[in-house]
Structure 1
Amino acid sequence: MTSAARAPRSLVWAGAVVFVVALGLVLLMVVRPSAASPSSGGTTGVSAGAPAESSADVGFARDMSVHHQQAVEMAFIVRDRTDDEDVRRLAYDIINTQANQRGMMLGWLDAWGVPKSSEGPRMAWMGHPATATDGALMPGMATDSQLDRLRAAESRAAEVLFLRLMTVHHRAGADMARVAAASASTDEIRGLAAGMARAQTSEIALMADMLKARGAKP
């Protein structure tokens, strides 16, 4: 495979900065214990008093875990469809950061004693339940048809399609994160969501520059 024109060196540094910020957030959330009440059994890393099943905390953790899972899947796909160093570096950043964040959210759900999934509509905690379309369970998620196109693409075509799909994915994810940061009751979700919104907004700008470098529009 031949790779597309390399992005400017500044994009590489920008990608590195985004990764460092995201990694720092993950480490902070992992090692920073929240105060635990005696009734909570002394559990660390979880705020005293588990949030309700219908809370924004639980809804966000469930939905964003699914959202992140697809982002990781798309990143793995493009990693194997191109030899472009900048795109592969971005893919690795997304895989590492979002897989770690997903693990944290699933761990909190377990610690809160609530199921990791629900039969109820997704995004109901945001006030506007989502409707699945062609495999896309929530806004911003790629459809089954789009994923099939990504799997079939190579080199520049795979890079451009991935960057476009991930831009849409990040925009919706950042919107969800901003709502959770403002409405969640636990320090864990508020802090993680706020960091997600900042990091994904930075990556959206990075991907716009990468698309421009390839002569493509977002």
Structure 2
Amino acid sequence: MPTTAQKPPVSERTEAAAEPRPASRTLRYLTLAMAALLLLGVGWTVATLAAGRTPGENSAEAGFARDMSRHHAQAVEMAMVAYAKGQDPAIRQLGYDMALTQQAQIGHMQRWLQEWDLLPTGSRPAMEWMPDGVGVDANGLMPGMATREEIIRLYEAEGAEVDRLFIELMIKHHIGGVHMADGVLDASDRAEVVRMAEAMKQAQQKEINELRKLQEPNG
């Protein structure tokens, strides 16, 4: 008859059971590695949230969104007059393009304020957020903005006078807008604000150059 295999002594069986099997060791290492990655992930998340903290009531980002929305609103008003009454087709086209672009940018900035849980208007004086401290002028207007009297003159102008006034007022207005864009670029590193300010600066500088060419005698 076949002989029955003898079992190892109890002490040997106990030692064998106590020694981790290769699969068990692998699982333990994977668990430790996953725990370490989880802790790292939590750290990265906290750092990311801290870096992308929502702008507050008195932030440069909020001030820029509010003030530039108002600044743009006047540009849209003047551009629509040029589009409706300008004599030069190039002026009418510029007016149309400016109104469309700046109205869309107003929409983006107002959406930021909603996402940041802020009101469209704040309690701080206009331009107080600017790093260089340049505020409003004696008429309470931000850099480059036209007075109400100048806007009325634009509305009442006819023919070539519409073109002349529009060019004059919009060059000044855009120079002020570029200054404000530079201000927020110096004060903010928030991605969407930086992208918008850079786009505004580039577009408005380009339009200043186009307007100056049209201002020339043979423009």
TM-score (norm: length of structure 2): 0.72
Q: Is the 8 A contact 1:57 1:185 kept in 2?
A: no
Aligned match of 2:57:
53
CA distance in 1, matches of 2:76, 2:156: 17
CA distance in 1, matches of 2:45, 2:105: 27
After the TM superposition, which of the residue ranges 76-85 and 167-176 deviates more from structure 2? 76-85
Q: Is the 8 A contact 1:51 1:185 kept in 2?
A: no
Are residue 200 (structure 1) and residue 200 (structure 2) matched? Answer: no
Backbone CA RMSD of aligned residues: 2.1
Bigger-Rg structure (1/2): 2
What pairs with 1:66-145 in structure 2 (closer than 5 Å)?
66-127=70-131, 128=133, 130-131=135-136, 133-134=138-139, 137-145=141-149
**1:144-190 CA-partner distances (Å, limit 9, x unpaired):** 01001001101110101001100000000001101212211310111
**1:112-169 CA-partner distances (Å, limit 9, x unpaired):** 00111123210100142633655x6312000001001001101110101001100000
- Give the unaligned 5+ runs of structure 2: 1-43
Q: Which runs of 4+ in 1 moved over 6 A?
A: none
SS in 2 for 1:124: coil
Q: Is the 8 A contact 2:54 2:116 kept in 1?
A: yes
TM-score (norm: length of structure 1): 0.73
- How far did 1:62 drift? 0.6
CA distance in 1, matches of 2:45, 2:93: 45
- Give the unaligned 5+ runs of structure 1: 1-36, 40-46
Q: Is the 8 A contact 1:78 1:159 kept in 2?
A: yes
SS in 2 for 1:125: coil
Identity in percent? 37
Counterpart residue identity of residue 173, structure 2 = H
Q: RCO greater where, 1 or 2, for CA within 8 Å and sep 6 or more?
A: 1
CA distance in 2, matches of 1:180, 1:131: 16
Q: 1:87 to 1:75 in 2, by over 3 A?
A: same
CA distance in 1, matches of 2:181, 2:148: 24
CA distance in 2, matches of 1:179, 1:131: 14
Counterpart residue identity of residue 177, structure 1 = A
SS in 2 for 1:114: coil
Are residue 156 (structure 1) and residue 160 (structure 2) matched? Answer: yes
Q: Is the 8 A contact 1:182 1:190 kept in 2?
A: no
CA distance in 1, matches of 2:54, 2:111: 13
Q: Is the 8 A contact 2:87 2:160 kept in 1?
A: no
Aligned match of 1:14:
none
Aligned match of 1:29:
none
